[in-house]
Chains A and B, each alone.
Chain A
């Protein structure tokens, strides 16, 4: 259905929506065909209003519409057929629109995982965190490669970042993330503008499994417009673009998700005789949610299993090494929201507001909803 042939009904419905009527009951009373029409119209409304992604009930084919879709157990697998994602400028996202990290707490907080067809920002506070930032991005790439066809991965960086943070080392990437050297492509751009151009060209390609763009600092060129262009291309191609920003401040971005990464002390190596004292085990990351449209800020500690190529979430303090990191990071200067402003979720948040128990769309019209900064 195009906006043209349905415009009359559409605008009526839009008005309807604005007036906060109880239109759900109307939907329930109508037939399946009518319901489908209404859902299509709601998608159009979302498109016209430029709303953020939000949950809508499934169209025909799914179970009868329940006015209060509240997952009883948010930590369980979020049923894809129970959700329809509306995103700006795009029709319904496929059910596997989210990349599940495998860490339940993080997946729940992000309501299903990281969006697959989108730009995602991964920040590191300083250049010395480049190992953790790149490691986390690569583990996400490794998860993508594990699920899908083994397509190449392109890693774009400026000459500056490769000099300052080191060039990706294919042997290590293979050992830790299982990414074959043949699957890797690197692009070293002399200038940021060239790197952005390459990234834009690469983001529209479906022949790449993922694109990693690594930038140092907070350059002027990488503004809202530039990220929006990357995001739009990633959406159209259906491939993720990971924007790694080393030593950068949180700035306005079109990316739906921004994660702030830092290294976490690793657990000791496990041997038959128990943990080996003083040894350095699997890579571990501390992930803070800096921006997400669905989640409140939170912090998680994830451990990467290089043998299984999967994440494990580290819960509580029992496996944490003696020198633990502060649970709430110190506030940093910058115009973005402080990462520590939200609740710290290190365990499955049952029934928390972040877990999908959202108010009905009629209660929170897009133009009234307070937009989260950043």
Chain B
């Protein structure tokens, strides 16, 4: 028996058959129930866990149709339009669902009808019934008002005027009903009867393409899964070719025998349709997830879906010579690393128009970085030859500048004579600078105090190592003495 707190009292939320046999009812106070039967076992309700269970069941129901929606706290809508023939007709599909749930230990009721409203009513009030199209009215007429999915207060007021069945409401004139009980009643009625369309919003986006394979014998080994992936990808390739597309995002769904579903997704940095490459990507992903996937008694259904596809760019052949193939090689290499180690495992620097050193280069994940459109420059055409000031930039930059201690400078605005960085003392042999870099005032919020300017120095220590230091702020500009930071290392 499960209790929950309602109106400041512990009441029975749900109960099993044995408790029902003791004449306990839902909504009864726990104290009363305990007084009647001291030996009952009461468990606190956990709506979160119920929700998770329902969602995992919804995932599992994905094997019947991609359009699965949650219905309140205890129901699932499956839009099986066009799917029933895959399971040998409506009756055998319904039987299959019911028997599989039964063996998983669930007490399930199901109804199949042409409208969601009628199916809802059929599942709850006429179990295991298949309602042919057009017979919704006959189904609903004898059922109580609760079968219409209406608010409890509307139901109570309908009952108070003597309308106790759905049939009675249907027979009543519409205009007074709408005026007295609101539009929602007629809306629900029309939806149940199929006069109005009701959209079931699926829990997960429907994949544009997916292929699956039912297995007579559950598979457990990673190798077998990979082999299946390649087989499915081969089938998928035909569909992708017909659409002129390549997959950008793929998901592998593994349906375990006992109802759990593992969902493994990989992304590609350019459209992909080659089965072998798809298999390679999933190989890396499966290797990374080896600990997390619980095989249990094995998987009896494997599905490969294309979550998003993009036009397969045939123009790649136009690019000059070997660059084309190398680009593809590197994209696949990056995808494989990404599949195993996450999106930010391969980074690409992108130059940004900014004079702040840390903003001048953005390192983006490989898939997000813009692909080079122009052919690579010839070595002899580097446009570096233009004369003028070219500031020296370090080859390594600390992600966050590290504070250093500067005990003394020769001149107030000059470079330090020595400094302490990471607990080691460095003697400055030579210094160049300062190069003043002001903050980007156009990026600061209005009214915010200006960030202090930085004076950068190139420093060579007594051992010949070259560093990039800066002093934040000016001497005498404010009460706070300026601080020194280590920002980069030169070659």
Contact = CB atoms under 8 A, between A and B. Distances in A.
A25 B363 CA distance: 62
Interface string A109-132: 000000000000000000011111
Contacts of B333: 201-202, 205, 207
B399 A167 contact: yes
Interface string B313-345: 000000000100111011001101100110011
Interface string B360-389: 110100100000100011010010100000
A284 B424 CA distance: 23
Nearest to A150: B376
Contacts of A172: 393-397, 488, 490
A19 B350 CA distance: 62
A135 B395 contact: yes
Given A135-B395, A167-B399, A186 B491 contact: no
Interface stretch (A87-95, A223-231, A261-269, A332-340): A261-269
Interface size class of A (residues with CB under 8 A): 35 or more
Interface stretch (A5-13, A76-84, A177-185, A351-359): A177-185
Contacts of B382: 178
A14 interface: no
Nearest to B395: A172
Contacts of A152: 326, 330
Interface string B454-467: 00001010111111
B361 A171 contact: yes
Contacts of B74: none
A285 to B, nearest CB: 8
Interface stretch (A35-43, A48-56, A187-195): A187-195
Best-buried of A149, A187, A262, A284 by chain B (most CB within 10 Å): A187
A242 B288 CA distance: 26
B360 A171 contact: yes
A180 B381 CA distance: 12
A197 B336 CA distance: 11
Given A130-B396, A169-B396, A188 B390 contact: no
B460 A265 contact: yes
Interface residues of B, number: 57
A181 B326 contact: no
Given A169-B395, A185-B348, A207-B330, A194 B341 contact: yes
Interface in B376-434: 376-377, 379, 382, 384, 390, 392-399, 424, 429-432
A262 B330 contact: no
Nearest to A148: B379
A316 interface: no
Contacts of B424: 128
Contact of B489 (A138, A166, A202): A166
A175 interface: yes
Interface of B: 322, 325-327, 329-330, 333-334, 336-337, 340-341, 344-351, 357, 360-361, 363, 366, 372, 376-377, 379, 382, 384, 390, 392-399, 424, 429-432, 458, 460, 462-467, 488-491
Given A182-B372, A190-B341, A194-B345, 8 more contacts: A162-B399, A167-B363, A172-B488, A181-B351, A185-B348, A186-B346, A194-B341, A207-B329
29 contacts: A131-B465, A134-B395, A150-B377, A162-B399, A166-B398, A166-B399, A166-B489, A167-B399, A169-B361, A170-B349, A171-B351, A177-B395, A180-B377, A181-B361, A183-B376, A184-B348, A185-B330, A186-B363, A187-B346, A207-B327, A207-B329, A207-B333, A263-B464, A263-B465, A266-B464, A280-B430, A280-B460, A285-B491, A325-B463
